[in-house]
Amino acid sequence: MTNESKTVVVVGHGMVGHRFVQTLRDRDTADTWRVEVVCEEADPAYDRVGLSSYVGAWQRDLLALQGNTYAGDERVITHLGEAVTGIDRAARRVTTSAGREIDYDALVLATGSYAFVPPVPGHDHEKCFVYRTLDDLDEIRATAEAAGPGAPGIVVGGGLLGLEAANALKLMGMTPHVVEFAPRLMPMQVDDGGGAVLKNLVTELGLVVHTGVGTANIADGEAGGLRVTLSDETELDAALVVFSAGVRPRDQLARDAGLAIGERGGVLVDDVCRTDDPAIFAIGEVAAVEGRCYGLVAPGYSTAEVVADQLLGADSTFPGADMSTKLKLLGVDVASFGDAMGATDNALEIVYHDPVAGRYAKVVVSDDAKTLLGGILVGDASAYAMLKPMVGREIPGDPAALIAPAGGPAVGIDALPDDAEICSCNGVSKGTICSAIAAGACEIADIKKETCAGTTCGGCVPSIKQLLEASGVELSKSLCEHFEQSRRELFEIVAVTGIRTFSALIDAYGTGQGCEICKPTVASILASTSSDHILDGEQMSLQDTNDHFLANLQKNGSYSVVPRIPGGEVTPEQLIVIGEIARDFGLYTKITGGQRIDLFGARVDQLPLIWRRLVDAGMESGHAYGKSLRTVKSCVGSTWCRYGVQDSVGMAVFLEKRYRGLRSPHKLKFGVSGCARECAEARGKDVGVIATENGWNLYVAGNGGQSPKHAQLLASGVDDATLVAYIDRYLMFYIRTADRLQRTAPWLESLEGGLDHLKAVVCEDGLGLAADLESAMERHVAGYRDEWAAVLEDEDKLKRFVSFVNAPEVADPTIRFTETERKVPVLLDMPTVRDTEGVPT
């Protein structure tokens, strides 16, 4: 350690402040600098980009940035929960809120930004929040939980951060409304066409969008909530309001110290991020580099590295900023890159727009159509990883092929040059990643450690995987970062060890606290290996929204009720009960393609009342909400049809009752046809049974959906007993060996040996598993019990089914319908109608 070391004080310990400290310590091989970090938040640097991932887990340490405590580094001191209150530039000294005085040789301002709150009357209400820190989310969570599931929450601002906040409210069980003054969502990232598709997609997924309007007033509303008035005089009831209308640089400390400020705010710095005081630098969102502030993490990291180099005598300068963005919210992909809006002179735009499929893609090219300038992707951003590194480069072929739905991008990862930037957050090129792979980094985690690629937003991870595959590396089958085992391996562990809780499994075979990947996967495995109720004990916390309430959540916060109708066979008495329930509870009814009746529009507190009547009528859960058997569709068969050669209805009823409640990696659908005319469409199902004069033909691994697949013939001319034995083996083999959320069709395609191997296992017992697989199915059949019947007998479980936990007798007033030709949900995007006493109607 040198005796001539100098002190640099860092004000702020966000992602950029932490990057500066890490970079300086990594590059300061002579230990020239000693670092003191003053952080106003109580938590050291955490992943603010991934703030929404805090929702659900509520574990702060899961967002902690690697190395944020600098353990073992004596040259870094951190002061948490302490703010710098003043800068004495003449003495080169800062004063903190704890009365501490720290002298500096260099001062780095990394104070970031704060959430802008427009001066709307009522903006300072105790139920108005901003979306910026972990503490903010804790406060929002407390208010959301008090309001109860489905309660409306309003987000003011429909930009990138606004949709992040809306996503967080959705994850908390609220019904989010987004109010955006611009005529479209994400106005800085997408154009009108992309904004229209984005609005449709997020509306279908439960967000209520109000564009082209502002927020005029916030006041107290009914039942302790808020009433928000928009600029078009629309009134909305809400449990809370979150302001996410943009950010402003936190430059007050610099202003008080007399430093030069940019015209639009921010600490004015030059291209090496130095202020007008040569001993003071500014980085990240607070830095106005040559007058411009950047609100993304990638340019913030660049400023941090530039200042680290400056302190160590290097001559690097700020290289400019890549403002490309890619996010996935509520399952919707959105990406923009380069000159997305076509601002370049004479630029040409090529657009692919499919509103039915919910996809919008645009590329901006030079006037000679040879150079890619930028683009926008909404609904499907899979091309982003390939297109972004091509910006500014020659297009190999027809530019329309870059976004054509059939072929996708015209180039592969191999065609990119080594200097193409794969990770824009950390400025990592293809060549750097390939060099790391060549040096032995053969896992995603290894590449992250060696190059920092993929450690920030994660958007480049698919490209890293492609580079690994192109290098001949066999990728890990790990379920997620918490389990190095595959789903298949975890299934075997659970089956052999008898472990019955997620916590016990992760303690013994995993690490950390778990995530949105491994928790529901383990929940499915536990459900597939026992007949325990999915709402018992710890199992309850692993389920998604639908399984939490044993019903499908609909777009307006109501739920659907789907009783099982085996094989489509139903008694007149049961039909009468269904009709009476629909009438008494005001439900919308629909006969589905799976030959059963769905009842839509039930509030969560009505579900037990409805199911009591259905159970008393001899009906049970149809498992429309679960990854399990849904329906067994049948024709009328030989009982009624003059062409029928087998009793398809009887077989369908038997199969549906045998496999009901069977939890699996994905949903299962059956079909049973009484003759070759195939009226039950059995060859489009996971299990298809078709009658012949010689017995049953068994088809497997078909499905509808986005990628329809015809089922394949597994066995022909088998009798009843053999048919059932083969289905038992097939289903249990699939459940044991499939990946998470993998339907039977892609499972069979990925199965080594394909259909021939499946025949060997199921029909020939080539692996000696037949008895074991059949025994596992018999245990399921013997242990089956209707989930709703069990809920109705358990007072603790019944307590879950209330609209508001703090007022269980109050119905959710946000769920409304309009009576037209049929019952249609109202998504609260119109003024609330009130009766003479002010009660919502």
pLDDT at 558: 83
Of all residues in the chain, what percent carry a pLDDT higher than 90? 52
Q: What is the pLDDT of residues 671-727, one digit of tens each?
A: 999 998 899 999 999 999 999 999 999 999 998 765 678 899 999 999 999 999 999
Q: What is the pLDDT of residues 228-244, one digit of tens each?
A: 999 999 999 999 999 99
Q: Is 480 annotated as a binding residue?
A: no
Determine the topology of domain 548-783 in CATH.
Sulfite Reductase Hemoprotein; domain 1 (3.30.413)
Instruction: Give the confidence band of 827 by pLDDT, cuts at 50, 70, 90.
Output: very low
Instruction: Give the confidence band of 410 by pLDDT, cuts at 50, 70, 90.
Output: very low
Q: Are 178 and 209 contacting, i.e. CB atoms less than 8 angstroms apart?
A: yes
Site of tokens 């839509």: 600
- The class that CATH gives domain 128-245 is alpha beta
Q: Are 202 and 209 contacting, i.e. CB atoms less than 8 angstroms apart?
A: yes
Percent of residues in the chain assigned helix, strand, coil, to nearest 5? 35, 25, 45
pLDDT over 60 at 831, yes or no: no
pLDDT over 70 at 544, yes or no: no
pLDDT over 70 at 804, yes or no: no
Q: Are 663 and 524 contacting, i.e. CB atoms less than 8 angstroms apart?
A: yes
Q: What is the pLDDT of residues 77-119, one digit of tens each?
A: 999 999 999 999 999 999 999 999 999 999 999 999 999 999 9
Find the largest Cα–Cα distance for the chain.
101
Q: What is the pLDDT of residues 154-203, one digit of tens each?
A: 999 998 889 889 988 988 889 999 999 999 998 988 899 988 999 988 88
CATH architecture of 6-114+249-311: 3-Layer(bba) Sandwich (3.50)
More confident residue, 243 or 60: 243
Q: Is 679 annotated as a binding residue?
A: yes
pLDDT at 514: 80
**Beta 695-700 vs 712-718: how paired, if at all?**
antiparallel
Please tell me the least confidently modeled range out of 440-454, 611-625, 655-669: 440-454
Q: What is the pLDDT of residues 547-567, one digit of tens each?
A: 777 888 776 678 889 999 998
Please tell me the least confidently modeled range out of 370-374, 454-458, 681-685, 811-815: 811-815
Give the residue extent of every domain in the chain: 6-114+249-311, 128-245, 487-543, 548-783
Q: Is 675 annotated as a binding residue?
A: yes
Give me the mean pLDDT over the 213-240 stretch: 94
Give me the mean pLDDT over the 448-470 stretch: 77
d(C-alpha 274, C-alpha 591), whole Å? 69
b/e map 209-225, b = 16+ CB within 10 Å: bbbeeebbebeebeeeb
- Look up residue 834 and give its DSSP letter: B
d(C-alpha 535, C-alpha 541), whole Å? 8
Give the mean pLDDT of the chain: 87
pLDDT at 828: 40
d(C-alpha 704, C-alpha 710), whole Å? 8
More confident residue, 513 or 310: 310
The full DSSP string for 43-76 is S-SB-STTGGGHHHH--GGGGBPTTTT-TT-TTE
Measured CA to CA in angstroms, residue 181 lies from 152, 244, 246 at distances of 19, 12, 12
pLDDT at 106: 97
| Identical fold, 6-114+249-311 and 548-783 | no
